[in-house]
Amino acid sequence: MSPEQLPPVQRVALCGNPNTGKTTLFNALTGAQARTGNYPGVTVDRRVGKLRGRDDVEVIDVPGTYSLTARSIDEQIALDVILGLAPDATPADRPALLVLCVDATQLARSSYLVVQAQELGASCLVALTMTDEAGAAAPDPAALGRVLGCPVVPVVGRTGKNIEALRAAIERSLRTPAAEVPWRWKPSPALAAKIERVRAALPARWPASDGLALWALLSIGDDELDHIPPELRSAVHAVGPTTADDDEAVLGRWTWIDEQVAPLLERAPDRRFTDRLDRVLLNRALGMLVFASVMFVLFMSLFAWSEPAIALVEDLFGWTGEQARRVLPDGVLEDFVVDGVIAGVGSVLVFLPQILLLFFFLGLLEDLGYLARVAYLMDRIMRSMNLHGRAFVPMLSGFACAVPAIMATRTMERQRDRTLTMLVIPLMTCSARLPVYTLVIAALFPSSTFGGLSTKSLLMVAMYAFSVMTALGAAWVLSKTVRQLKAKRLPFVIELPPYRAPRLRDIVRMMWSKASMFLREAGTVILACTIVLWALLYFPRSSPEELAQLDEAAQAQAQMEHSYGAQLGKAIEPAIEPLGFDWKIGVGIIGAFAAREVFVATMGIIYGAGDDEGSLRDKLKEERKRDGTRAYSPLAGLSLMIFFALACQCMSTLAVVKRETGGYRWPLFMLGYMTVLAYAASLFVFQVGTLLGF
């Protein structure tokens, strides 16, 4: 079939409030494996997939929103998708059908979005979700359909119940012209006149409807919306929208919902278990104690529980290197494969068990519904640091990776709040820092116990606590000193989802997704950096005559110190020596600005040359200066971890901040302030520690 004969693609937008099971339903309808979560704000951009069995039907997973009165970025994305308002959109891009997820346990609240969508003239189909949790309290789908004036299909996305019925209903709705639904409330004459004037100013490519005119009247003004035509802004400004107009529209919708929809929920769902648990977890004292305990166990386990798996991976790469040496001829190729590729990339992949363990715990807490409670608990602390309460969930996500965490700031209304949160998220200890911390703690700190707990594990916990305190402190300082970040704080409102049993399949899927991303980075960015650094540390080669009088180990050391990399490291050594670092660490730090994990790969290359015995940790522990003293003391190790905790060493993070803020100003500011902070803090720690005799 030629392109001209292909049927036109019909678009179906999957919409609803946050945490109503949209993404789970999207996965079930399309066969995709998009991430799901039990807290608001997981979907921060639209996702697209084909309806199972239909190449001509495209399903779009729209960010969750409570209202189409758009002010935040994710709300604007939702509206742009639903009505095709983006600058490059055409009428064909407009969805032919909206599938609105309505939570059976929160019927009235979820129906508000349905009413708004019908006002905009959209063809609607309701997917009644969470019917398993509502149980006998779930509304009758037929009765709800009669009230809302559109088909209603009860579904359970997690188990796949009625998914085929929903798919069939989608296909029927696409074939059947939508019946026009009358407005549920009647605007006052004054508001109706304003709507009429604004409607006349709507762009020609936008749908000409009173519903869209009302949206423009209530959304445009004190907003941060893009691509709003100047003529439309002028028209809205001319009619002078007031808070009373907003109140009238909201009250009109809710009055109808309370009269017609709310009675269909015969009784409230049983929330006794949730309420009893919340009395403890939301208590200001007990809740914070539980949260601190959970975080303590989580970060303690990252060091203690992963150690056997790390040792196993170390042995595997050591054996691989030995086998490679046996089959490869002596020379550059052997050195490149063993010391460059295997030692470099292997020294990073050895920490994959730790990273998987971190993602497992975060996925478990998210699926339980606990993260939203933590955000509520932390609101008072966040408020004192001039951060919006919604900033906590992206910041906590920063423990995994800063890139998706920065994208999650789209759920915040104001650009000021988003920018401030973006600037401090990279201070949270992401999974890329884990290999560095683990290497330094294992190699440079003695094994002992304190209060029956391993001091090495306690130090790992301390580094995570340090990152949280630093991020909060930086937010407070930036909000007080940077003019663009000074603003009155908005109130914090967050939905507390019900507690749900974790879905091991989804957690494992998320872990595999993150592990795949890490492995792809190890096979591309880290491998490329490793090859470059290996070449810098391998060339130029000294002549055999120059090395003739030295033994094998001394030859390797002399060759290393003669390399381009060593020359570069020694050039910056005067600047980093006050921090307790030598030229070898300097080379690692330079490579780490591409990706933090490259530091470990670089050290693996440096200490893998000419010596197959022992792991990288052992080699760092045994390294000596010319006078016979240890090259790297515990104080130098602490200084190095402080530097990595504070420095912005991730090009991907800078790239996503540039994209989210629309320019180079804020990413360059972030790179500058974090680098200066890292250097100053590391200098302070090492110099004061030296004066105190450590």
Q: If you write DSSP's letter for every residue of 22-44 in order, what string do you get?
A: HHHHHHHHH-------SSTTS--
pLDDT at residue 609 tops 70:
no
User: What is the model's pLDDT at position 2?
Assistant: 44
For 488, which DSSP code? P
Instruction: Give the residue, 156 or 404, on which the prediction is more confident.
Output: 156
Instruction: Give the residue-averaged pLDDT of 352-373.
Output: 83
CB atoms within 10 A of CB 550: 14
pLDDT tens figures, 568-581: 999 999 999 999 99
Of the candidates 653, 39, 76, the residue with the CA atom closest to the CA atom of residue 410: 76
Q: Tell me what the pLDDT averaged over the chain comes to.
A: 84
Rounded Cα distance, 380 and 387, in Å: 10
For 181, which DSSP code? P
As a whole number of angstroms, the longest Cα–Cα distance in the chain is 100
Instruction: Give the residue-averaged pLDDT of 133-153.
Output: 90
User: What is the model's pLDDT at position 493?
Assistant: 60
Of the candidates 426, 439, 380, 390, the residue with the CA atom closest to the CA atom of residue 410: 390
Q: Check whether the bond before 540 is cis (ω within 30° of 0).
A: yes
Instruction: Give the residue-averaged pLDDT of 15-36.
Output: 80
pLDDT tens figures, 401-436: 888 788 778 777 778 888 999 999 999 998 889 889
Of the candidates 469, 424, 328, 378, the residue with the CA atom closest to the CA atom of residue 648: 424
DSSP 334-353: HHIIIIIIIHHHHHHHTTHH
DSSP 116-176: HHHHTT--EEEEEE-HHHHGGGSPPHHHHHHHHTS-EEE-BTTTTBTHHHHHHHHHHHHHS
Instruction: Give the residue, 205 or 316, on which the prediction is more confident.
Output: 316
pLDDT at residue 611 tops 50:
no
Of 39-48, 130-139, 149-158, 654-663, give the lowest mean pLDDT range.
39-48
Instruction: Give the residue, 653 or 557, on which the prediction is more confident.
Output: 653
pLDDT at residue 254 tops 50:
yes
Supply the CATH classification number for the domain 8-175.
3.40.50.300
Of 249-263, 370-384, 567-581, give the lowest mean pLDDT range.
370-384
Instruction: Give the residue-averaged pLDDT of 170-192.
Output: 87
Helix (H) or strand (E) holding 461: helix 455-481
How wide is the angle at C-alpha 501 spanned by C-alphas 31 and 135, nearest 5°?
85
CB atoms within 10 A of CB 108: 17
| Contact criterion met (CB below 8 Å) for 563 and 537 | yes
Cα–chain center distance at 97: 30
Q: Are strands 47-50 and 57-61 parallel, antiparallel or unpaired?
A: antiparallel
| Contact criterion met (CB below 8 Å) for 157 and 21 | yes
Which distant-in-sequence residues (6+ apart) come within 8 Å of 537 by Cβ? Answer: 560, 563, 564, 565, 566, 587, 602, 605, 606, 609
Three-state secondary structure call for residue 95? coil
Burial of 519 (0-12, 13-18, 19+ CB in 10 A): middle
pLDDT at residue 482 tops 80:
yes
DSSP 225-266: -SS--HHHHHHHHHH---HHHHHHHHHHHHHHIIIIIGGGS-
pLDDT tens figures, 489-539: 655 666 677 788 888 887 888 788 777 877 777 677 778 888 888 888 888
Instruction: Give the residue, 18 or 175, on which the prediction is more confident.
Output: 175
User: What is the model's pLDDT at position 671?
Assistant: 94
- Domain locations along the chain: 8-175, 285-484+503-625+632-694
Provide the β-strand partners of residue 7.
none
Tokens linked to 588: 């690692």
User: What is the model's pLDDT at position 441?
Assistant: 93
pLDDT at residue 608 tops 90:
no
pLDDT tens figures, 220-248: 876 667 778 889 989 998 988 787 888 89
pLDDT at residue 37 tops 70:
no
* C-alpha distances in Å from residue 259, one per residue of 114, 138, 148, 266: 15, 18, 12, 13
User: What is the model's pLDDT at position 612?
Assistant: 40
